[in-house]
Amino acid sequence: MMDGKEVNGTAEMVTAPRAAMRAPRRIWSVLRISAFLVIAAATLFFGGFGWFSSHVSRLSTPSDPQKADAIIVLTGGQSRLDAAMDLLESGKGARLLISGVHPAASRRQLQLATGGDKQLFSCCVDIDRAALDTIGNAEESAKWVERHAYGSVILVTNNYHMPRSLLEMGRLLHDAKLEPYPVVNSRLDDGSWLTKPQALRVLFTEYNKYLLALARAVVPMRPTHDSSVSMAEVTVSGN
């Protein structure tokens, strides 16, 4: 007849191997779930990138945009400034804000760089030098729009930058209607962005910034630098 100690010892000998067998199973189960989540996240991320790139590549510059109260252009390229000045000169808006101008760029330099009419530039163009990134563009633009009580605004920036710009602007310009005016420097609507490393890099960088902008809706945060808005280019153009 077995005593209590012998019974307990036998039970422990039986359950120990079972526990040892269950531990690897749990580990593999966790690993499988983790791998599935990683693959799912990667699929969503790269699938979203494909959608974003395709959407941006199909954006085109309106041939005859509707007239608005005012025009806002975000610095970052000569073509943006030229397009904004053309809109102002054609009467598509009564006033133009150039947002994100480098502090070293004077009004005269900007006027010469855009080739705009001196009198029109003097009377109807405002310059924002406070904005350092797209969020700053939105903040300063909102102040300008509110100060002038504009109800509609044409927003000028590059096609790849337009989704994030609309997102940031839309958060602050609640009472003003935004009319996007994407500037297209390179036609990529045929899918050629997949074979052009420079275009792929720009789109991938902008896509990540767009995701961060979406995340700020849940967790407020502000980046320290936004390289998509190139202030130096404005200064160089004005020299």
pLDDT at 17: 58
Class of domain 70-238: alpha beta
* Amino acid in position 23: A
| Residue stretches of the chain with pLDDT short of 70 | 1-23, 189-190, 219-239
Phi, psi of 72 (to 5 degrees): -125, 130
- The tokens describing 198, both together, are 């420079």
Residues making up the chain, counted from first to last: 239
| Of 133, 160, 150, 185, the residue nearest 72 (C-alpha) | 150
CB 233 within 8 A of CB 76: yes
pLDDT one-digit tens code per residue, 131-143: 999 999 999 999 9
Domain ranges of the chain: 70-238
CB 12 within 8 A of CB 6: no
Phi, psi of 26 (to 5 degrees): -65, -40
pLDDT at 70: 97
pLDDT at 133: 93
pLDDT at 16: 52
pLDDT at 233: 35
pTM above 0.85, yes or no: no
